[in-house]
Amino acid sequence: MARVALVTGGTRGIGAAISKALKAADYKVAAIYAGNDEAAHKFNAETGIAIYKWDVSSFDACANGVKKIEANVGPVDVLVNNAGITRDAMFHRMTADQWTAVVNTNLGSLFNMTRQVVEGMRTRKFGRIINISSINGQKGQMGQVNYSAAKAGEIGFTKALAQEGARSGITVNAICPGYINTEMVQAVPKDVLEKSILPLIPIGRLGEPEEIARCVVFLASDEAGLITGSTLTANGGQFMA
């Protein structure tokens, strides 16, 4: 019987690639999105992957949403916490709203989502929780104190929960992408990309969303059962941890 995978932020960018790769690996996939209805419905029409809309920074929305998915698709075996936002500003100019929005969405969502599925995983003695962190959670980034703090928190969350879930057959791992060829990076001015970003990447190119998706598919598999509490760095050698 096909396992059920749930991907937050699963209809665009890295999340869309993850959703499609998991479907290709014979998972039943549910993709969650927050706001871009047009992109989400286009994704659904092209892939046939079920889509659900809610705000992952809300605990109650996550509780209600996961109940709906489990009723429609089945108990969640694989959770990919991918949803994230940026609200960049130098710290001395950062507002409380910019801080709270990023921390609640990028880090708070890990509690909000994982809390809904972890008890079922423990009962069934199987679970895969994969958190999409960031290179900037490992090394920090000027102008992104909020984002870097949240993404570093994802790594701590991963390591602690991995210890709790290990005896119940639940693995918890993080992936830290570097610069990936998504809409957000494509919006960077070409001269900035070529002069300030690419020279820092030893392989000399951006990563592709599908490369991160392949990492997820492996960590979700039975074959990855030995790996838990790990941080998989996927950044072309830009930062070696």
Q: Which amino acid is at 65?
A: G
In the chain, what's the furthest Cα-to-Cα distance?
Answer: 53
List the 4-8 sheet strands across, edge first. Answer: 50-53, 28-33, 4-8, 78-81, 127-132, 170-177, 231-234
Of 124, 17, 78, nearest in space to 224 by CA: 78
Quick one: tokens of 145? 């104190």
d(CA 166, CA 122): 10
Element (H, E) at 131: strand 127-132
d(CA 94, CA 142): 12
Quick one: tokens of 73? 């698709």
d(CA 182, CA 177): 12
Quick one: tokens of 72? 């429609």
Q: Is the dihedral of CA 203, 207, 210, 214 positive or negative?
A: positive
Quick one: tokens of 84? 């994230």
Active-site choice (27, 33, 52, 147): 147
Verify whether residue 52 is a known catalytic residue.
Answer: no
Quick one: tokens of 28? 């039943």
**30 with 99: CB under 8 angstroms?**
no
Active site residues: 147
